[in-house]
Structure 1
């Protein structure tokens, strides 16, 4: 069972069926140069995918893997009809510090009729492009009554990396009006800012009855990045829920620890990922989320021993699975 607190699995979009038992033969030593070409093609085609969730995920992959040759595509996504896609494109422009987009980002922010979440992402991009005064905008928006705006403001305050934001983030946690998304995002951002006082609050999420809480807690512990936080993540490597174990493996890999390698191998080799349509929100299935997390873990762990699973994931029918595998390939071939 996977008890879920929220209706959406937001943590898996940005981060994909290994076919359980059976499936194609896995090459022992995949041609990484060839896989890189395939991965780049997957990302390029995903930018124009009819599914906005896929387009948003493509923007994240472009930015997180530094695909500067695809950076101009982020500009085209600024005109996308879906708010999450425009948001992801702006966050990507900021992460990449894509200076050629400065005028277009400014134009988006200046459009007061634009969605507030999009303007928040534009403010983040402007800060990353050298306009530090825009860091005040998310501080103002964190008091919004709109919980999505509040959560995104909290997330951006962490990414801006200004410790003067701590007061606003603690306020968001303590305000009774903040929903669980806001509280969790504020905790992760506080962790990103290196404030170890947040450890105990994050720990309560790691021992929650809800799997999505535990995964969010793993991410926050990873953001904190201390030895104590890493040890806390290790306690979830034997969690009863596969997706939690995979999230832990990925986060530990990001921290330079390969303790979760066996978790990924078992998931891919022992048929632990099912193809049953267990809906956990946003039209996705439990198996698909696990595959996304497999791809994420392979990329973060960075082991050639796991690279042999990537061809299978790149051929998965799910575009999100393909993107997660493509991201892993691009990480392994930097």
Structure 2
């Protein structure tokens, strides 16, 4: 028992803590709208104003944070604002928004994801069948066909998800869903859908459903008719209808402007296919016989087979058809080869590229006029890959195309060519094109050629659009060497965050070890820019920070010493830790304050004693920074120093100490405190200390809940109820910080009682799935039937499977079934 008493010592204070002063009333909310306002209506108003004037770089992170706002309308408005800068939104934000519990919010998230192009297809594809969430499904059905059409290739993963989702729908597409799914059939590619009819699982049904909604083309009917013996009733019924349609048609199936004869019989088609595959045989004699055999077949019959193979054959058959087209020069179906190549991943295109390479160049370029406009950018890349530099003069004419993606594709292939003459074209685009992404692409072309880069840098850094300026710093700086220095310094103070970030990344990645230039760059930065730059160096070039800090922390110039200590805080090095501790003895208060702030960034437990001593510094600004630094270090000795700071003679220090204690989180202290609270004869001293700290002990108590054993939960719950109360914690459920809301839920659940039920029910619609999950489990544990209906809604509608499972388990514990009409 003596050892347990000894363990209590770090929690005791060196001086008696004063009785907690009554907390002052929060300052009234400012009248103007603010993204940080406590009132959700003011946050909504701020977002509407932002939507009207446009989202700036400095506001992006704030708006992203509102995707987890507890107010549903705020979340929806935030996603709408972010859609104007969709390219800057990170993947995690999209995933979070698409799992929002509110259908309206998820529908808006679908539109935001679609603005980012094809990168979110894997998330959007399953939503076309999300009938439980009608607004989300409608948005996905509306946007996905166009999104698929605009992407160069639909990956196998995305196609599988799409087919699986539609195949798993409890019934065939409705009249409302049909038109959009018909558009999906065209966007996904008929050949790939027909190829999916041989799949062994529910994806086959998905392919059938999509094809049925699409056009009634002969090749589709013929493919569907082969499924008359399918084990699934729905597929057999579709196959029978397709077979009847084939039997009723007056025109020969497969007829077209090229093929006017009767359709190929299966045996004839298989014979041609066998000869085509033999063209790839390792034996030259076999290949010769195959060419001779194909030469003996009527040209229009081979064309008919090749065309259908391109449209509906699997990859192996289509590849054999492409080689046949090349061998027999069947260029009438060049556009079919081009379209099939566009649909394929790069590694599968080789046979198609070889076939296209044999087409006369003028005819090949003419194929661009026959492909769908949305496919033209990828068609340009296919033509470049098939024909190389000779095609470039023919593609330049498309730099006048009204479509930005088309012009971008031309510029990209010109850059890949490495042709010096392309620099003149790129320079012209940089100076005259109205599209910022095109001008940025022109910068990349010039950088690849490394011709006249200095003049291009001057021109690009004067561009009105930050995309172009950032591209110049990223692409041109490495080739300019020291000549880039003035541009880097200019970029560091640019008003747009992407440009500053590009300049910082380039500065941090320099290999010339010119520390004096880096030092001058830090000195010229404004404080907020200096923080950004320090953060970048912290991740990519800590060695430079360490060298600069150690070179200047002993400077006779106090401003240099302050800056050196700022860099020391970012360096994460042991040498800078020791220099910062030493600088707590500097004769200048501003330097000592900077040293304390640096130790706060370093967060090393070896600095706790020195920071504790700094709480006795004669200057309040030093004591404030020491308290703040202690507040972010996880160490048992910290609590005593923070409690002692509550009785500081300076009101500002006391205020900061109270704020820090309110927010302080220390797993180490929480575990020790949990152990003490579990021992009855030690519990009284710990309880008395916590009550003296007052409401500021809230976070520490919640830490005990998170890190302690189940046996201390009722003890801590009772303390939270006495010291803090449900109402105070419930007030934090409106915080825009998800972690703050989650911790409040932990506290409310531990307190329990009737007041806790309403608060926990309210957060079952929170956007953070962790909060919904914990609230569901607490409601089940508390056993109050008032939570039943809210849990039923969660079981039926929540998009997160783990929450649905927890809700169903909670209903079992409450003795309620989700379909029970008695649920009020």
TM interval, short-chain normalised? 0.3 to 0.5
Q: Which has the larger radius of gyration?
A: 2
TM-score by length of 1: 0.47
Using the size of structure 2 for normalisation, the TM-score is 0.22
